[in-house]
Amino acid sequence: MNNNDTNSFVAIFEYDDAPYASRLARLARTAKDVPDALLDDVAELIVRLDDVQLVVGDVAIALLDVGYCDKRYHDAFDFADALKRRLERYLQNPDEAARAR
């Protein structure tokens, strides 16, 4: 693949063309308002899971759901809180984590 080819992932995440791009933009604008305590909780869960593929995949799918599938979060706090709850479920239920991979 040469540098002039379009990477399909780049095309997906160029959210300006996403049907619900404004929702992604709202999440980005409100990200600074997510409390440090919630960010610390999410970071701790990520470390405990020790599964980069699972976490990155989960976040990517959640963002695609917002941009392309009409999934709604009020703001970045709600997005981060939902991520925290999913990560907690993955820790509590390895079968659910395996299905999410």
pLDDT, residue 91, reads 95
Average pLDDT over the chain, rounded to whole?
84
Tens digit of each residue's pLDDT (9 = 90 or more) over 18-56: 788 888 888 888 888 889 999 999 999 999 999 989 999
- Angstrom distance (rounded) from CA 24 to CA 16: 9
pLDDT, residue 47, reads 95
pTM: 0.79
- Angstrom distance (rounded) from CA 91 to CA 77: 21
pLDDT at 16 over 70: no
Q: What is the DSSP string of 67-85?
A: HHS----SSHHHHHHHHHH
- On the 0-12 / 13-18 / 19+ scale of CB atoms within 10 A, 27 is buried
8 Å CB contact between 24 and 15: yes
pLDDT, residue 15, reads 57
- Residue found by looking up tokens 């999440």 in the block: 27
Domain boundaries, the chain: 8-100
